Amino acid sequence: MITVKRRIPRSWFHPVGAQIRAKEVLARMPDVTGCLFLTLTLDRQLFEGPADAFEHGRDRIRRMMHKLKLWVRKETGRKHLELPYCVKTEFHLGGWEEFVPFGGSGSDLTDLEEDAEGWPHWHLIVRHRGFIPWQVIKALWDLGMIDIQRIESQQNAHYLMKYTVKDIEEVPQWVKERRRLRIWQTSRGFYEDESAQEETEEEADADEEETQEDKTTIGERIDQWEHTMTLIVADDDGQQQVRTLKVHVPVRDWFDLHVARFARRGLYHGQGIVELRSTRDMQSLWHPDSDEWEICERGWPLSLFFQWKFQPRATVGERIKDEPF
């Protein structure tokens, strides 16, 4: 059997891949009951644009958390106390958002319609159950507004994280132009299980400088994902060969156009998986400017898969008929 399905990269910049990453984050979340949940936003008048604001903001978060750790050590007298935390980056992309500034009066209903540029803001969980005056955090941040909440229960923590650890429906243009951008980061010691410990922000930055992933931008990778399917060829013994198939139209558009036809023939298996039974089934994936279907991995032409799958049957009299859509 030959099936194709939408390629799902394990990435925050893919709507389904982001859900996978979110589940991984929630599964590894330590007990943060009683800890601090911070939201940090930016005063746009201080920056040239969202990209400039992002660089200043993430640098300020590191400095702020270091100084906050020193403040807590001084207040508690615990010289070796650590202040583990995690950071989730998000982008404003229009609409309305209710924001309650800590220490302010009432709610501010902020119009985000002019946020098409995708200005960043951050959510943090700080693993500290002691008291920290909001004025201290406000002074250390000093780039915009803050909101501080105390996480009441682990269930409450999961609710907050499901809200913040969500897929990015639309990626801002300035993000697409970057090669890397870390959406989720943790400091050393945030995870209780050392085997699950992720790299620190300092290590992440070093990795970002040294590893230019595939030397492509985020936008280029998003475009590749939108034009890529996973092709799975399974024989009668259950052995599978998996390859990456490039298509000339966005995969979502291809499904919208053809999935009903496959479903009527009983070839749609749900969850974006379509079964192919003949070479005619692949005509909708044929690249108009190429003599072969394009295969990303190893450069194997798709015709080889069909020769391997269909020709043996034809030689024993089981002729494969091209079924119409």
- Across residues 84-111, what is the average pLDDT? 58
The yes-or-no verdict on residue 67 having pLDDT over 50 is: yes
Comparing 84-93, 100-109, 141-150, 281-290, which segment has the lowest mean pLDDT? 100-109
Rg of the chain in Å (alpha carbons): 25
Alpha-carbon distance of 287 to 220, in angstroms, equals 20
Alpha-carbon distance of 4 to 244, in angstroms, equals 9
110 vs 132, which has greater pLDDT?
132
- What does the pLDDT read at residue 233? 82
Alpha-carbon distance of 187 to 182, in angstroms, equals 13
- What does the pLDDT read at residue 111? 42
257 pLDDT tier (thresholds 50, 70, 90) = confident
101 vs 325, which has greater pLDDT?
101
Please state the φ and ψ torsions of residue 63, each to the nearest 5 degrees: -65, -40
The yes-or-no verdict on residue 136 having pLDDT over 90 is: yes
Amino acid (1-letter code) at residue 170: E
The yes-or-no verdict on residue 98 having pLDDT over 60 is: no
The yes-or-no verdict on residue 107 having pLDDT over 50 is: no
CB atoms under 10 Å from CB of 1, counted, come to 12
Could you report the per-residue pLDDT of 297-310, keeping only the tens digit for each?
444 444 444 444 44
Q: What ranges do the domains of the chain cover? A: 10-215, 227-315
- What does the pLDDT read at residue 238? 75
The yes-or-no verdict on residue 21 having pLDDT over 50 is: yes
The yes-or-no verdict on residue 245 having pLDDT over 70 is: yes
- What does the pLDDT read at residue 51? 96
The yes-or-no verdict on residue 94 having pLDDT over 50 is: yes
The yes-or-no verdict on residue 254 having pLDDT over 90 is: no
Could you report the per-residue pLDDT of 153-212, keeping only the tens digit for each?
877 777 777 766 565 668 999 999 999 999 999 999 999 865 545 444 444 443 343 344
Alpha-carbon distance of 273 to 293, in angstroms, equals 19
The yes-or-no verdict on residue 149 having pLDDT over 80 is: yes
Which residues are CB-neighbours of 176 under 8 A, at least 6 positions away? 217, 218, 219, 222
- What does the pLDDT read at residue 167? 57
- Across residues 243-255, what is the average pLDDT? 81
Establish how many alpha carbons lie within 13 A of residue 78's alpha carbon, considering only the half-sphere containing its beta carbon. Answer: 8
Mean predicted lDDT score pLDDT of the chain:
76
Helix (H) or strand (E) holding 164: helix 154-164
The yes-or-no verdict on residue 243 having pLDDT over 70 is: yes
Alpha-carbon distance of 105 to 294, in angstroms, equals 60
The yes-or-no verdict on residue 130 having pLDDT over 60 is: yes
Contact between residue 65 and residue 150 where contact means Cβ atoms under 8 Å apart: no
259 pLDDT tier (thresholds 50, 70, 90) = confident
Lookup result for tokens 């644009």? 49
- Across residues 118-136, what is the average pLDDT? 95
pTM of the model: 0.75
- Across residues 228-253, what is the average pLDDT? 81
